[in-house]
Amino acid sequence: MNPLLVFLLLLKASATSFSGLTSLPVVRHDFVETRHLITDRELNTAVAAGRTAPGPNGLYLVSVGYFVAGWPGACAGCAACLTPAFLIIPILHYLGRRAERPRVKSAIQAVTFAAAGLVIEATVPLARDALTGWIPVGIAVASFLFLVLTTRTTLWVMAGAALVGLLALR
């Protein structure tokens, strides 16, 4: 696949998201549903790789680019992650003065709720693919409860999930 097209598709996903994983619905639509370039399993793998690496959550776009077009795709994914950061400074300068207006606040809140809904909608097919037995479901539920009920970092979730997974292999 053409790395320029990979860059443009990943840039669209990156530029229209508010945080790393809110680009997931756009990526899934473009690469899994519409163009059939990767599978849900490969997208799950890309998200897991992006989440385990240090840095922003949007780094999974680099893995998506790699799955689609190899090293040139990974470079396109990296460029797609970096480009909005360079563009946001002048945009924030322009919009920053208007952010306190009630209409702007309401619009931002509405877009945030819409993004949350899209993330949930894109996560359900990925969860169906990943949660195939009682052990993965148990790990997912325990991880959710742990993160909601404590102030610990996700490092503890990863370590606990790895330990449970290793013990389940016996």
pLDDT of residue 30: 93
**Closest C-alpha to 158, from 168, 143, 148, 169:** 143
pTM: 0.62
Domain map of the chain by residue range? 3-129, 131-170
Question: Residue 79: its pLDDT value, please?
Answer: 94
Tell me which amino acid residue 152 is. Answer: R
What's the DSSP call for residue 124?
H
**Tens-place pLDDT, residues 59-104:** 889 999 999 999 999 999 999 988 888 887 787 777 777 777 888 8
pLDDT at 16: 79
Quote the pLDDT of residue 163. 92
Nearest C-alpha neighbor of 30 from the set 9, 57, 59: 9
Q: Are 43 and 128 in contact (CB under 8 A)?
A: no
**How many CA atoms lie less than 13 Å away from 143 in the CB half-sphere?**
18
pLDDT tens per residue, range 111-149 = 888 878 888 888 888 888 888 888 889 999 999 999 999
